[in-house]
Chains A and B, each alone.
Chain A
Amino acid sequence: MREEIITSGRMNPHIDPHLEIWHWHIPLYLFLGGLAAGILFFAGLYTILGKEEKFAGAVRRAPVIVPFLLVIGLGALFLDLRHKLYFWQLYTTIKLQSPMSWGAWTLMGITPLSFVWAAIHIREFFPKWKWKFGFLEELEKFFVQQKQVLAWIMVILSVILGIYTGILFSAFNARPLWNTSILGPLFLTSGLSAGAAVIILFSRTHHERISLAKIDVMLIGIELFLIVHMFMGFLASTQVQIDAANLFLGGPYTAPFWGFVVVMGMLLPAVLEFLELRKFKIPVIIPVVLVLFGSLMLRFIIAYAGQMSRWLY
């Protein structure tokens, strides 16, 4: 028998019996960030492609909610900080090796951009909108002229943001479950898929809906592929990573992961969207909600399970 004990005790509440430093804030923040990245990505993309009219939902309508998503996300992140009064220290350095730093700066760029984007499309919702001050009118005009530039920046930043939501975890070598390069692409894909789903909700044309549903089905396919790869990677790796994978393969996270994330959040909406493409009448809201739910659960489960996985020595 092997017995390993910490004889001096170590009542560190964040560490023992397993890491518990991040609660709901971080996964929520990552979900909202990923979703925002997804929406802005499509908005930017269709603008660049000059398909603004055909994809009005993506370009003009859905992005209006992005500032809210980002503000709520940032709020959650702020709540999670334990030394809150010092949060501004984030903006005193740029640390390329730190995903947190990256994320902070990316958000610093993308959040104002999302406000601008929402502002220049505000008449989509309030056709009679008038800016109170003249200089705001001027500004709006300026931004509308520069829309292509904005779109480019938005596409780039949203990809960075999307990847960042995954890299934040995968940078942690210390937590075997997170220590996989697949998390970055997986979270990006999941964010894009969630973004596409939300756009479907906002789009008014059948064509736009169908196009995005196609994209979504494809993205879900990629996600599933990445998940399979992630597990293959784990199982082919060291014991600690095998242990990490086992959290999902018989361990405590098996049911929530396969049930909520894979079946309810990916397979089911993919099937529904596929049926819709085959001209079945499916209420739009159902697959959308399922995708969003799956995307949120993915972050929650990876965040919590990752904190349970550790090196043993």
Chain B
Amino acid sequence: MSNSRREFIKISTLGTAGVALGAKYLYSEVIGDAPLRFPASEGSLRTPTYCEVCFWQCAGWVYKNDSGEIQKITGNDDDPHCNGRFCPRGTGGVGMYHDEDRLKTPLIRTSERGKDTFREATWDEAFDYIAEKLKKIAAEQGPECVALFTHGSGGAHFGHLLKAFGSATISAPSFAQCRGPREVAFITTFGDIIYSPERTDIRDTRCLVLIGSHLGENMHNGQVQEMSDAIDKGATIITVDPRYSTAASKSKYWLPIKPATDIALLLAWINVLIENEWYDKEYVEKYTTGFEQLKAHVQPFTPEWAYGITTIDPNVIRETAREMRNASPAVIVHPGRHVTWYGDDTQRLRGVAILNALLGSWGRRGGFYNPEKMKLPDYPVPPFPKPNRMPQDAYQGKYRLANEVVSNGLCDATIPSVERECNIRAWIVNGTNLMAALPDQQKTIDAINALDLLVVVDTMPVEITGYADVVLPECTYLERYDMIRQSPHREPNIALRMPAARPKYNSKPAWWMAKQLAGKLGLEAWFPWNDLEEVLDWQLKQIGSSLDEMKRMGVKKFPRSYDDLYFAPGEEVTFNTNSGKIELYASDLEAEGFAPMPVYTPHEEPPEGFYRLNYGRAPVHTFSRTANNPNLTDLMDENTLWVNPKVAKLWGLKTGQYVKLKNQDGKVSTFAIKVRVTERIRWDSVYMVHGFGHNNPRLSRAHGRGVNDTELVTRVHVDPVMGGTGMRGNFVTFVTDEPTDGKEAGS
């Protein structure tokens, strides 16, 4: 109503002059050309990129409209990661570029940490500030005391800088908060990791078993596409999830497991396969060791035993095991990706690995293929100085099976302690919002408070930038070059990211920052080029391509060096394990003093009046990365709290009502969350999508919307094998006495 009134006033004030103007407008609008308002034609120039909205890195094309503004992004048909189709987040990636809340210029802190008061600085000032502190730390305690936390493409550039500086203290939350346990479990079992994109041959599988992998909500593109192909081809899908996930709704069998009991189910499945001799005998005999020990180990773990623990009907356990057997070897017991749940995650993933071994799916069509990667030679630079201390020294003696650096281990090593000769004194944080990524926020804050320097490289003003001493604004992936994507797949392939537009504001690409900083630190020798185009062109020419060619193609595929996508029938295979075989009985776990075969240990259950805090993904968001994206917040601007109707009745909760949450340690959520009463969740848990509840007021769309699950994850169950942070052992209750109405100001 008010709108049309405004309209009217606008029109009536046009007055007589307006009539003339209006007539002209009418003429051009009406008598003039186009009868329909259509978007810019596709003929406009397109530039290649690969997506940075998540770590699947789909390759695509960026289109601009007639006024030169970035208009849309579509998938590259030749790209095996996306097959010409981006996921909603990638399609909405344009919003990252257009977001008016972006970091615009370097910032230097003017008050205490966490207060978010900065002054604008020039790039030169910012680099001088950083370089001075880094030099001081290097002189006093060695360059190893400078750590890099990174997620995403910028890691290559800052990693290069750090190595030149003399530090190997580099870590990503994508290990100890994410994939770590599965990689360790699969190395232990098969001598190789799962990689990203996952080497799962879903396209050709006949049975896909998803254990807490919520594909369809987890939008890792290639897998979602292949799951759909599998549905088309009539594959059986079995989903194990306490929540009725989207994937569960597409499944022939949904096993609504009691949370934290998956190891019992896995043991029972192994038991059924062995007891009924449903395993792939030839495969097991030829490729594995430890079968007899395994057989003896699982003998007591019958489906009836598991029923008492998991609440899954024993007949369903048998039936689903039979489905797997029938499909074998074209069966995938999916290892999942974010698997740091309860602290015994490596052991759970060992159970998954063993099942796959028994079903003979590793190295077989429809199971796990052998990926190959096109490796580009590195641009020639002098050898890096050898660090005196390795990052692993920081958590001496622990997590020796971890094949990557444990981020929370570095966090621990930042907090001064008498046991360590030195602690980490500076962090460079690139493309990871540690306040949302690392559980136990208080520990992260303690570590930050112990730092001499915190540099944050980001595109958005998120929580971690609020703690920074220096904030460096990176331009978005749509405005920059990055290293060539070289990821493993069925066919080796590479993809180019190039700028579609000039960086907005005073933002710069990571490679430029790294090179400038190197200059200030006297490390020019490792950056002997003028710009990244030079590096890329040189690298591409070594493999018979060129930057020009890649600008045209975006993606280039190469033939495999061997025809070894799957094992050949009867092929002799040596696995990269201690025994050279698939280890059903894990010798390296045993050597480290851990159980060589998985055992089920009960986990704590929610206390009276509390509910297990479960979390996951929404298809239109990537963690906190997209929380302020105008295109994507348009579809979902807050998370909701899934509550079972029985629980809702007990507490008098209604859909749409806002509540705060309090966890077992008395931690109350900063903001309130909207209740969604739904049958899709059990009565002992509540569920929310991770990545909301931002408290940085500079995020105009995300601030105060929903609850941040991370702040409620104060209790962490660290996986003793590899240091992963189990985050699903936290319990919350509803705070309904404080009246709240969603978005709150302040704090």
Task: Say whether A23 faces chain B, with CB atoms less than 8 Å apart.
Answer: yes
Chain B 273-323 residues near chain A, CB threshold 8 A: none
- Chain B residues, CB < 8 A from A80: 4
Please, how many residues of chain B have a CB less than 8 angstroms from a CB on the other chain?
Answer: 19
Task: Give min CB distance, B466 to chain A, whole Å.
Answer: 29
Q: Is the CB of B635 within 8 A of A9?
A: yes
Cα separation A1 to B679 with both chains bound (whole Å):
7
Nearest to B4 among chain A residues (CB) is: A79
Q: Is the CB of B4 within 8 A of A82?
A: yes
Q: Is the CB of A9 within 8 A of B678?
A: no
Task: Give min CB distance, B683 to chain A, whole Å.
Answer: 13
- Chain B residues, CB < 8 A from A84: 7-8, 11
Q: Is the CB of B1 within 8 A of A24?
A: yes
Report if A1-B634 is in contact (Cβ < 8 Å); known contacts: A84-B11, A85-B25: no
Q: Is the CB of A8 within 8 A of B645?
A: no
Q: Is the CB of B7 within 8 A of A82?
A: yes
Q: Is the CB of B22 within 8 A of A85?
A: yes
Task: Indicate which residue in B4, B7, B634 contacts A11 across the interface (CB closer than 8 Å).
Answer: B634
- Chain B residues, CB < 8 A from A3: 677-679
Task: Say whether B636 faces chain A, with CB atoms less than 8 Å apart.
Answer: yes
Task: Say whether B525 faces chain A, with CB atoms less than 8 Å apart.
Answer: no
Cα separation A23 to B11 with both chains bound (whole Å):
20
Q: 1/0 per residue A1-45: CB within 8 Å of B?
A: 101000011010000000000011000000000000000000000
Number of A-B residue pairs, CB cutoff 8 Å, is 32
Q: 1/0 per residue A81-96: CB within 8 Å of B?
A: 0101110000000000
Task: Indicate which residue in A9, A82, A85 contacts B26 across the interface (CB closer than 8 Å).
Answer: A85
Task: Give min CB distance, A8 to chain B, whole Å.
Answer: 5
Chain B 454-470 residues near chain A, CB threshold 8 A: none
Q: Is the CB of A1 within 8 A of B11?
A: no
Chain A 48-84 residues near chain B, CB threshold 8 A: 79-80, 82, 84
Nearest to A88 among chain B residues (CB) is: B26
Q: 1/0 per residue B631-650: CB within 8 Å of A?
A: 00011110000000100000
Cα separation A9 to B632 with both chains bound (whole Å):
10
Cα separation A144 to B634 with both chains bound (whole Å):
63
Task: Give min CB distance, B733 to chain A, whole Å.
Answer: 23
Cα separation A82 to B7 with both chains bound (whole Å):
8
Cα separation A73 to B634 with both chains bound (whole Å):
38
Cα separation A81 to B18 with both chains bound (whole Å):
18
Cα separation A200 to B582 with both chains bound (whole Å):
101
Cα separation A8 to B5 with both chains bound (whole Å):
30
Cα separation A105 to B637 with both chains bound (whole Å):
46
Cα separation A9 to B640 with both chains bound (whole Å):
13
Cα separation A87 to B635 with both chains bound (whole Å):
34
Task: Indicate which residue in A9, A24, A82, A85 contacts B634 across the interface (CB closer than 8 Å).
Answer: A9
- Chain A residues, CB < 8 A from B25: 85
Task: Give min CB distance, A212 to chain B, whole Å.
Answer: 36
Cα separation A8 to B677 with both chains bound (whole Å):
18
Nearest to A78 among chain B residues (CB) is: B8
Task: Give min CB distance, A53 to chain B, whole Å.
Answer: 44
Task: Give min CB distance, B634 to chain A, whole Å.
Answer: 7
- Chain A residues, CB < 8 A from B22: 85
Cα separation A131 to B349 with both chains bound (whole Å):
99
Q: 1/0 per residue B655-693: CB within 8 Å of A?
A: 000000000000000000000011100000000000000
Task: Give min CB distance, A101 to chain B, whole Å.
Answer: 19
Task: Give min CB distance, A284 to chain B, whole Å.
Answer: 35
Chain A 158-202 residues near chain B, CB threshold 8 A: none
- Chain B residues, CB < 8 A from A85: 11, 22, 25-26
- Chain B residues, CB < 8 A from A23: 1, 4
**Top 6 closest A-B pairs, CB basis?**
A23-B1, A8-B635, A9-B635, A1-B679, A3-B678, A79-B8
21 contacts between A and B (CB under 8 A): A1-B678, A1-B679, A3-B677, A3-B678, A3-B679, A8-B620, A8-B635, A9-B635, A9-B636, A9-B637, A11-B634, A23-B1, A79-B4, A79-B8, A80-B4, A82-B4, A82-B7, A84-B7, A85-B11, A85-B25, A85-B26
- Other than the known A1-B678, A84-B11, A85-B11, what 7 A-B pairs have Cβ atoms closer than 8 Å? A1-B645, A9-B635, A79-B5, A80-B4, A84-B7, A85-B22, A85-B25
